[in-house]
Amino acid sequence: MNHDAQLKLQAYRDGELPAAEAAEVQSWLARDAEARSLLAELEHTAKALSGNEAELKLPESREFFWSKIEREIQRLEQPATRDPAREISWTAWVRQQFAPLAGLASLAIVLGLLIAHPGGRSSVADSGVIDLALASDDMGAHTFRDQDQRITVVWLDDRTQDSEFTTPEPFASVQPE
C-alpha cells in the first residue's frame, strides 16, 4: 500500500473525506484485507491516545490569549517612537566616547615611561656609576649599568683597608700565649 492510500484511509477514519470519496474508500475496504487491517490499527491507536492525552488548559480564555498575541504583533509593527528617557545629551555622548580613549592614552603614557626608564627611579652620576647604601659600613659597592649593552656590573670593596689597591694579607695562625 502506498503512502497516498494510507493518508486517504487516515482521512476516512477522521471523517475528513467528501461523501463520494468516502463511498469509494468503503468499497475499497470491502475488497482489501490489508486496508481493513490498517484501519483497525488506526482505530486502536486513536483509542489509546485519546485516553492518555493530557488536557491543556490556558489560564485565560482563548479569545484573550489570541488578542494578546495580536496586540504584541501590532506593537512590533509600529514604527519606533522617540523615547526621551533613552536619548542622551551631547555631553554624555562625548564622555561616553572619549573616556575609554583617555584611559587608553594614560596607559600608553605610563607604558612609555616604564620603557624609557626600566630600572625605575635611580640616581645615576655622569659616569653611569650608581652608589648603593649597604647595611654594613665595612663594605662598599659600586654599580655600573650600560643601557646600550644591557649589562650591569657591580664592584664590591672592603672599606676597612687603607688603600683600595692593597691586597689582603693571608690569614695568620693564632698562637696561644
Per-residue pLDDT in tens (0 to 9) along the chain, 177 residues: 899 889 999 999 999 999 999 999 999 999 999 999 999 999 998 888 887 777 777 778 888 888 999 999 998 888 766 666 667 788 888 888 888 888 888 888 988 888 887 655 544 444 444 444 555 666 777 788 888 888 888 877 777 765 455 555 444 444 444
Query: Which residue from 25, 61, 63 is spatially nearest to 42, judged by alpha carbons?
Result: 25
β strands within the chain, DSSP E: 129-131, 139-146, 151-158
> Tell me, what's the pLDDT at 27?
93
Compute the CA torsion angle 49, 52, 56, 57 (nearest 10 deg).
130
Q: Where exactly are the structural domains of the chain?
A: 3-50, 119-163
Helix, strand, coil percent content, the chain, rounded in steps of 5: 50, 10, 40
Cα–Cα dist 82/87, whole Å? 8
> Tell me, what's the pLDDT at 31?
93
Cell of 36: 481493513
Q: Are 32 and 23 in contact (CB under 8 A)?
A: no
